[in-house]
A and B are shown apart, each in its own frame.
Chain A
Amino acid sequence: EEGGALEFDMVGIDAAIANAFRRILLAEVPTMAVEKVFVYNNTSIVQDEILAHRLGLIPIRADPRLFEYRNQGDEEGTEIDTLQFQLKIKCSRNPQAAKDSSDPNELYLNHKVYSKHMTWVPLGNQTDLFPDADFQPVHDDVLIALLRPGQEIDVLMHCVKGIGKDHAKFSPVATASYRLLPDITLLQPIEDEAAEMLQKCFSPGVIEIQNVKGKKMARVANARLDTFSREVFRHEGLKNLVRLARVRNHYIFSVESTGILPPDVLVSEAIKILMGKCQRFLNELDSVPME
């Protein structure tokens, strides 16, 4: 596990369940993202709808489990389902710039609009509900727009809870994927030059050369690192000596989070969502009388 990405192994489940987890991680774990943008003033060259689209894609560090879904048709939004952010920025000329400088960083103030300029505006009793939480975008340095002197952006944003199935901005993972554990077997002992060539055919670390009784023998050290490029089948001499397969029930999942929730929390949430779906149908089965 490192830097927002988690790699873990699941042994003994079937492809259907593994795929179900992957699909849920991508599309059904809810997050908060900007949905409605109220534009009070936008004199920049970025069009309103493009600006709104960009703002929607910025990941917001807010635990979606603390919020509810907004009811359909509810335009205003209450404090339990909406987070309000404000972005108010105006670009001006820098009076202290040198006369002949052409660097925009020196000439203008506030000409780059970053996500750190987004400020949280608490609604209703949100200051009491979340006293020490500070809602802000996950990354401070996402460039939203560029301005020149005299241009300004003044927008109010409403963040709601949603799922990736509705719009990809609600997806909590950068990506989630799985692969099967490779199974490399050497059908015959391979030595000397053939061993060297074999080692080059696979990713580094997969095959290691050991010195057995003076001769160099090849041995499969760590099949997990292999990327399955099948280079070995291009060589006539080595083609028949190696069998490439996959271990059937051993899945290596790799989950990369966008930073809203840590990846292990995402996996737990995904499993709970699958359980919730089953529970929903069980309840319906029990409540509707079957003829």
Chain B
Amino acid sequence: VQADGTDGNCVTFVLHDEDHTLGNALRYMVMKNPDVEFCGYCITHPSESKINFRIQTRGGLPAVEPFRKGLNDLMGVCQHVLNTFERSMKEYRAQR
């Protein structure tokens, strides 16, 4: 993970060994944050497995914050999906 940018509000993260799988999901979670003015990702070159993930915040919030929050939210979503899925599988099995 590398970061560069002029001030703390607008940062481009370079994520290695990632592609649309995490990029699109993370972009969606970060966009839900009302503090974020701009969020996007792109794949620099299809032969290289790395993505540029850019976050720009409104006002004085450092851009690392929405990134961290997005990751935490995504983990929360996954945890919830896992719990719901396992619960429904258990019910389905019990019912059969």
Q: Which A residues lie at the B interface, using CB under 8 A? A: 1, 8, 10, 13-14, 16-17, 19-20, 23-24, 27-28, 264, 267-268, 271-272, 274-275, 277-279, 281-282, 284-285, 288, 290-291
Contact = CB atoms under 8 A, between A and B. Distances in A.
A267 B85 contact: yes
A285 B68 contact: yes
A165 to B, nearest CB: 9
Q: Which of B20, B25, B75, B77 has the largest count of A CB atoms less than 10 A from its CB?
A: B25
Q: Which 8 A-B pairs have the closest CB atoms?
A: A16-B28, A20-B25, A23-B21, A16-B24, A275-B78, A271-B82, A278-B75, A278-B71
B43 interface: no
B21 A24 contact: yes
Contact of B75 (A20, A24, A279): A279
Contacts, number: 78
SS of A interface (majority): helix
A274 B25 contact: yes
B3 interface: yes
Contact of A282 (B25, B71, B79, B85): B71
Contacts of B88: 8
A281 B1 contact: yes
Contacts of A16: 24-25, 27-28
B48 interface: no
B44 interface: no
B33 interface: no
A23 B18 CA distance: 12
Contacts of B27: 16
B38 to A, nearest CB: 17
Given A267-B85, A271-B85, A278 B21 contact: no
Contacts of A281: 1, 15, 71
Given A20-B25, A268-B85, A278 B74 contact: yes
